Amino acid sequence: MTSDDDDYVYDEASGEWMSAGDIAVRDAAAAAGPEVRDAVGNLLADGDSVVLVKDLTVKGAGQTLKVGTVIKSIRLTGDDQEIDCRHDGIKGLVLRAEYVRKR
């Protein structure tokens, strides 16, 4: 009787032989998506509210978002350092996670 951990499979992505258990763990972590953390290290999720920790000039909008501005209902992108959000009059706003703190 053999378990999945004893079976080795050729992984085309890495070009190496890996145990089936290791491949399953790696694929599960990749499916979960990247971890996005704010300026303080808190884990962010879709729908969270965040507060700006730095004044940010928004290119193309002619506005400056001030420290303490609350951004509600963020959405995570595929990048581990970017969040998609909306603010008054600014649609399609993408902020770096290093400039926000979870509320």
> For 10-47, how does the pLDDT look when each residue is reduced to its tens digit (9 = 90+)?
888 788 899 888 888 888 766 766 789 999 999 999 99
pLDDT of 14 reads: 82
90: part of which helix (H) or strand (E)? strand 90-96
pLDDT of 100 reads: 96
The whole-chain average pLDDT of the chain stands at: 86
**CATH numbers and ranges of domains, the chain:** 1-32 (no CATH), 50-102 (2.30.30.40)
pLDDT of 11 reads: 85
Report the predicted TM-score, pTM, of the whole model to 2 decimal places: 0.67
* pLDDT-above-90 percentage for the chain: 47
Q: Which residues of 17-26 are buried (b: 16+ CB within 10 A; e: fewer)?
A: eebeeebeee
Would you give the DSSP letter of residue 99?
G
